[in-house]
Amino acid sequence: MIEQVTDISKFLSEMNEKFSSMEQTISEQGADISRLYRIIDQKDKEIHVLKKRLSKYEGPDKDSHNSSIPPSQESLPAKVLRRTQSLRKKSDRKNGGQFGHPGSTLETSTSPDFIEEHKSDYCECCGSSLTGAESICSGVSQVVDIPLPRPQVKEHRSFDVTCSCGHINKCPLPKECSKRISYGKTIQSLVSFLSHVQCVSFERICEILKEIFSLSISQGTVRNMLTKIGTKSKTVCDQIRRRIAESTVVGADETGLYV
């Protein structure tokens, strides 16, 4: 049965409301469909990544590390990648700090823990006593060392003492004060011990000094310390090497020798 329209204006108004409601519903459904497409695309990417990660576990090449195959029967690629050889590839970069690397320098302390004054006791010219004579600080050098567990800074001050005869006496600083500020013997010995005795890497040595002693030392400084200590030890090392060469029987530890 066909419904008779008596009020055309009312009918058109109702139809407009229905069309508006349908347009809003279609718009919301379109937004939901777009969101679902994005989720599906993301899931596809995740599935692709996971499949790629799982593929290496499906059928890895067998060698002496993951099977009973002896090393002598391994394939040539497996022998090349054996653990006894370094897997690190040679870099085309030069040794040392790279361009753009932020540098660091050793800064002097404005409040040293100890101040040691160095003055001459007698005149170098006439031999007179300099007790009570006027003195002027002419040089300052600081040595950073570790009096466990907290580092201490000792400042060495060199004074010029003027004698009654008019001669200005300059007191030299100790040999360790060759620079404006430097690291002391204890730190150098600790770095040498960690590197050569404990076989700790440069990076971990810097980490130990930072975390335990609050000393920010770069890997370059560690290398310079070891080079300096090696130069000082050259005479003793040459003597040991000469004694070994002259010995009738020489004992050697062959642990780790690869055959």
Consecutive 10-residue runs of the chain (259 residues): their mean pLDDT?
Answer: 66 83 87 90 91 76 72 69 62 73 81 92 91 90 82 89 91 86 89 92 93 89 91 90 88 65
Q: How many other CB atoms are found less than 10 A from the CB of residue 198?
A: 10
- Per-residue model confidence (pLDDT) at position 82: 60
Both 174 and 129 in a single domain? yes
Domain boundary among 182, 206, 223: 182
Query: What is the distance between the alpha carbons of residues 112 and 143, in angstroms, rounded to a whole number?
Result: 10
Both 118 and 136 in a single domain? yes
Both 124 and 178 in a single domain? yes
Residue 148 lies in a domain: yes
- Per-residue model confidence (pLDDT) at position 47: 92
Query: What is the distance between the alpha carbons of residues 209 and 194, in angstroms, rounded to a whole number?
Result: 11
- Per-residue model confidence (pLDDT) at position 24: 86
Cut 0.75: pTM above it: no
Residue 170 lies in a domain: yes
- Per-residue model confidence (pLDDT) at position 105: 78
8 Å CB contact between 169 and 130: yes
Number of domain units in the chain = 2
Both 118 and 178 in a single domain? yes
Both 146 and 121 in a single domain? yes
* pLDDT digit string, tens, across residues 29-77: 888 898 899 999 999 999 999 888 887 777 667 777 677 778 777 776 6
Tokens of 136: 């002027």
- Per-residue model confidence (pLDDT) at position 101: 72
Residue 92 lies in a domain: no
8 Å CB contact between 213 and 150: yes
Q: Amino acid identity of 88? A: R
Both 214 and 175 in a single domain? no
Structural domain harbouring 217: 185-232
Both 127 and 163 in a single domain? yes
| Secondary structure class of 248 (helix, strand, coil) | coil
Domain boundary among 182, 197, 216: 182
Residue 32 lies in a domain: no
Both 170 and 202 in a single domain? no
| Secondary structure class of 9 (helix, strand, coil) | helix
Residue 155 lies in a domain: yes
